[in-house]
Every structure is written in C-alpha cells, then in structure tokens.
Chains A and B, each alone.
Chain A
Amino acid sequence: MKKLVTVVLLVSFMMVAGFAGTVEAYDIGLAISTLDNPFFVDLADGAEETAEELGVDLTVVDAGDDAATQMSSVEDLVIQDMDLIAINPVDGDAIVPAIEEADMMNIPVFSVDRGAETEVTAHIASDNVEGGRMAADYMAEALDNEGNVIELEGIPGTSAARERGEGFNEVMDEVEDIEIIARQPADFSRSEGMSVMEDLLEAYEDIDAVFAHNDEMALGAIEAIDAADLTDEIMVVGFDAIDDALTAIEDGTLEATIAQQPEEMGRLTVEMAVQLLDGEEIDDFVPVPLELITE
C-alpha cells in the first residue's frame, strides 16, 4: 500500500510534467483574472494563438478572481524569470505588491484590460474613445446628419463613462444639425436607464436617437421608449455587446452596439511584448480596436 503511494505520486507528477513546454525564444507570463468568464477565455486564446505563431513560450495562470491567488501566481512567474509578465488584474490595488516584486527583478509588466494602481510598462485595453466615435459616426449617418440626440452617461468619474462620452461628443460636435439636447447620468444600470429615459420622454417632444454608455442603460431606455409607444421613432445605440443587447438587435429594438474584441486584446498583448523584447519602442497605452455590431 505504501509503495503504491509513492508510485501514484510519481506517476501523477510525470503526467503533470508531460504538459510542460520547452524553452523557446521568449518566456512570457500571462496572469488572467478568471477563466470562468468567456471574455477572458477569448483573451487567453488570442494570446496563445499569437504566441504559437511568433514562437513565444507563453505561460497562462488563472487566479479564479482571487487577488491572493493572483499574487502567488505572479510571484511564481517572477521566480521563473519570465522575460515579461502581462497581468489582467483581479484588483488594481491588490496587484501592486506583486508588480513591485517584478520591478525589483527588472521584469517589464503589462496591464491588460483593467489597469493597475502603479506604473507599468504598457497598458493594453479597449479604445473606449474610438468606440464612442464609432457609435457617433454610425448614428450621424443613420440620422442623415440631423436630429435631436440624448446621451445617457455612465457612473460619473469612471474611465469608461469619460472616454466613451469623449469620443461620442468629439464627432457629434462636428455635425452641425445634430443637437445633443440632454446628457443625463444613469449609472450604467438598466433600471436607472429606464427611469431617466421616462423623465426625458416627458421633458422633450422630439427625440430622434439615444446613445447610452453601456447596453444596460440602453436596454432600460428601450423599455421606457416601448412603454411610450415610440419604438419606431427613436433609435437607440448601446455599448459592450452583452447577450441581452444582441438579442435586442435581432428583435430590432436596439439599433447598434459596440463590441470589445478580447481575442484581439490577447493578440496585441503578445505582439507588443515581442516588440518590446526585440528592443523596439512601444507606447505606454496600446488601444485595442472595437467592433460596431448592427445585426
């Protein structure tokens, strides 16, 4: 029986060892917040595919959304003397001590999708400003460059609300006959989106379109518009491409939404890492392009 213990342990370890990769050009670590979320699975897939194309040895570790687990696994990546560590933080504050350890060993660190509350070599995330522009371009064209528009803003002060609004307004400011008749925060929430929209429908007669900083608010606004029997009059554009939003687009209640591209994010992470390690300069913010979805 006792020998069996040893044998079983040994065999299971050999099996485990079988998964180990061989050493290639660059060793890059990628610490993901949680692979329970399809968004991050796509991100990791994109990174792995690109790593294979470029002959990079990529080690992906998953924190299961636990900040302490993520810290330990980043420490393990530091011990392995990775050439670069890309971190998609569970928590921007709690990851700081681990990034400091990487700094001490002179290992460059990327933050991916979510930022870290300390300086990193580069931050790779969706280009929310560009997403705002894309929404505005689409809306302006669909409105033939004239009409009254309402903007439902996210939680004031959040980077998503700020950047999406910035891009949207940048484009709309250029279109003379489109007027933003109201800007109201609805805190990224569906119920807020609905009640704010109900008030605005009372206050304004002639509304042609609504841009919401996320799909939740857009879907809330759609409820209010539907209750007022104005679905055919008012066009709604959202942001994020959540499942409910895609269904709403199929139903024809939502006009368009802007989707993030997690695979592209993973691809860019590895590409930028290789550029940096090859000695090329890279920007400290690498924007990941977004996609307009209308059907």
Chain B
Amino acid sequence: MEAESAGQSTNYMEYILIFLDKFKAGIGLLVMVIVMSFLSDRFLTLPNMLNIFRQVSIMGIMAVGMTMVILAQGIDLSVGSILALSGAVTAGMMAGDTSIILSVLIGLAVGTGLGLFNGLMISKAKLPDFIVTLAMMSIARGLALVYTGGRPISGFDPAFRSIGGGRVGMIPIPVIIFAFILLIGYLVLNNTTFGRYIYAVGGNEKAARLAGINTDGIKIKVYAISGFLSAVSGVILTSRLNSAQPTAGVAYELDVIAMVVLGGTSLIGGKGTIGGTLIGALIIGVLNNSLNLLGVASFYQEVAKGLVILVAVLLDSIQHRD
C-alpha cells in the first residue's frame, strides 16, 4: 500500500514536471507579466498591451520564418539586412511614382529572391548556412546603402502609411498581419506534408533524404520564406516610420533568433513550435517594454536582455544533456 501511494505521488510529480517543462516559456512570460503589473500601474493596461503587440509584430513576423529555418537545422543571419533592402526598394519604387501595390510586390520579391539565393547556396553549393547568410547580411546591407545613397527615403501616401500605422477598431494593422502569419505558419507546420518534412530534415537530414524527401527543396523553401517574411516586416516598418532607413534592422537577427530560442525551438533543429515562438516574441517584447516603463538605464537594458537569452539557452542545453 505504502509503496503504491509513493509510486502515485511520484507520478503526479512527474506530470507536474512535464507540464512545467512543456510550458516553461509560457510560465516565464506569466511571471514577468505578474511581477511587472505590481511594479508599474501603467503596464497591465489595454493601450500598453496593444503597444507591446504592435512593437513585437515586426520582429515576430521574421521570427515565424526563422522558426522554420531553425527547425530545418539552419540559421539565417541576413534577416535584418533583407528587411532594410526590401523596405528601401519599396520606398524607392513609390518615390518613383510606381503604384503602392506594385512597389510592395517588388519589395517582397526582392526579399524572397535573396532568401531563395541563400537557400540555393546552402543546399546546392553545400556552403555553411552561417557563412552564406553572414555574407548576405553584408551584401543586402550594402545594396540598401547603394540603392538609397545612404540617405533615408521619407514621406509616403497615407494609404501606404496605414499598413503600419492604421488600426481596425482598436487593433493595430501590424498586429493583424502578425496574427495572420502566425496562423499560416502554424497550419503549414502542423497540417501539411511540407511542414512535416521541415521537422524531418531538421531531425535527421540523412534519414529524411533516404526516406525520399527532397531535402534540398525543403531547405531552399524555408530560406525563401524567411526572406519573404523579412521583406513583409521591411514594408511594415517603412510604413510605420513613414521612412525607409538604409540602416534599419541592424542586429535584428539577434532578437529574432532569441525569440525563437526562448520559445523552446532547439538550435539543433527538428524540435519546436510556432506557439512557442509567439511566447518567445512576447517575452522579448514585455522585457523591452518593462525596462522602458521602469526607467532602467539603457546600458542595463542590454545586459538584462542578454542575460535572459543566456539563461534560456542554458536551460535548453542542460535539458538536452539529461
């Protein structure tokens, strides 16, 4: 009897531990929200919540693409530069009297094209993803500077400005776009063969290839998607600022990768979810917002952000060692 009840209690403990493990990012976020709501009475207000969602939507959209790349055991360091170039091209087209829709489409095509190029170099030319996307980071940034002559392109049609600045009811349009992309990302990863193949390639590329999966094709597609979504963010950011900055998105890759990793996606590929990435994005968003609301000096902010990311990766690595 005694032994049996003891066995049961360890069972409960195990369930609780599994639960905690599965939702640790969510729990972390919840703790942050609770602590913050005591520290600042401005934090847990509807305007501030919408503010946080709007602030994370630009990097969050890129994080959806990054999730797929990392799931397929890759990395994309070029996202910030592609954002800048796509935004600049869209702005430049509009300044040259191209219609808004065509300008946006060209901007998106540029981002997708560069992502595709990343994918081809990595899968067909067999070059290391880290180096290819690092090179692209430099190439796209350089092209953005060349294209704009180093100066921001500013002042757009109100219709274009509404993409980043508008609201439907209370909800900012960038948040709606982010929600839509999260949904599509979720459906693609969970309900399509392509999604399952991404996990397969990231889990064990050799096995996936032997099973007849076109692993090169999968890789090319995830990098193209990452490029496309970076371009989407570039268009939204350009609209929001009413200005395309050739220096936009510097060091965004760091925050975007942090969002994905904080959300529980493993850097060795094959394991992770879009839901996790949403939580990760919100953790970064709440962190940035809280540090500003609390008036933490900006130098400490950098340190705090780095520490949170380090702790998250550390916990992930400890788990994989177990």
Contacts and interface: CB of A to CB of B under 8 A. Distances in A.
B287 to A, nearest CB: 9
Contact of B291 (A16, A64, A79): A16
Contact of B294 (A19, A64, A94): A19
B42 A2 contact: no
B250 interface: yes
- Among A10, A17, A66, A76, the most chain B Cβ lie within 10 Å of the Cβ of A76
B192 interface: no
A72 B288 contact: yes
Nearest to A74: B292
B121 interface: no
Given A16-B291, A62-B298, A68-B58, A9 B31 contact: yes
B247 A65 contact: yes
Contacts of B237: 68
- Among B21, B249, B291, the most chain A Cβ lie within 10 Å of the Cβ of B291
In the A-B complex, the 5 residue pairs with the closest CB atoms: A62-B298, A93-B154, A76-B292, A94-B243, A94-B241
Given A1-B319, A13-B35, A17-B35, A79 B293 contact: yes
Nearest to A80: B42
- Among A4, A60, A68, A91, the most chain B Cβ lie within 10 Å of the Cβ of A68
Interface of A: 1-6, 8-10, 12-14, 16-17, 19-21, 32, 35, 57, 59-62, 64-68, 71-73, 75-77, 79-81, 91, 93-94, 96-97, 117
Contacts of B243: 67, 91, 93-94
Given A59-B295, A76-B293, A77-B292, 9 more contacts: A5-B24, A5-B27, A8-B311, A12-B311, A13-B32, A17-B39, A19-B295, A67-B152, A68-B237
A8 B24 CA distance: 12
Nearest to B312: A5
Given A9-B31, A71-B240, A79-B47, A94 B154 contact: yes
Interface string B286-319: 0011111111111111001001100100010011
B187 interface: no
A143 to B, nearest CB: 39
Given A12-B308, A16-B300, A81-B42, A68 B241 contact: yes
Interface string B122-143: 0000000000000000000000
B300 A6 contact: no
Contacts of B155: 93
Given A2-B21, A5-B28, A12-B304, A19 B297 contact: yes
Contacts, number: 133
Contacts of A6: 27-28, 31
Contacts of A75: 51, 55
Contact of B152 (A16, A17, A35, A93): A93
Contacts of A97: 161, 165, 240-242
A210 to B, nearest CB: 29
A13 B39 CA distance: 10
B102 interface: no
Contacts of B319: 1
B242 A76 contact: no
Given A20-B295, A72-B288, A94-B154, A2 B241 contact: no
Interface residues of B, number: 55
Interface residues of B, dominant DSSP: helix
B245 interface: yes
A75 B27 CA distance: 27
A10 B144 CA distance: 41
Contacts of B318: 1
B248 to A, nearest CB: 6
8 contacts: A4-B315, A5-B311, A6-B31, A9-B308, A19-B296, A68-B249, A76-B51, A93-B152
Contacts of A17: 35, 39, 294
B48 interface: yes
Contacts of A14: 35
A21 B241 contact: no
Contacts of B308: 9, 12
B17 interface: yes
Contacts of B28: 5-6, 9
Given A1-B315, A94-B154, A61 B298 contact: yes
A10 B294 CA distance: 15
A184 to B, nearest CB: 24
A112 to B, nearest CB: 16
B294 A16 contact: yes
A22 to B, nearest CB: 10
B20 interface: yes
A9 B289 CA distance: 16
Contacts of A79: 42, 45, 47-48, 51, 293
A5 B295 contact: no
B172 to A, nearest CB: 11
Nearest to A79: B48
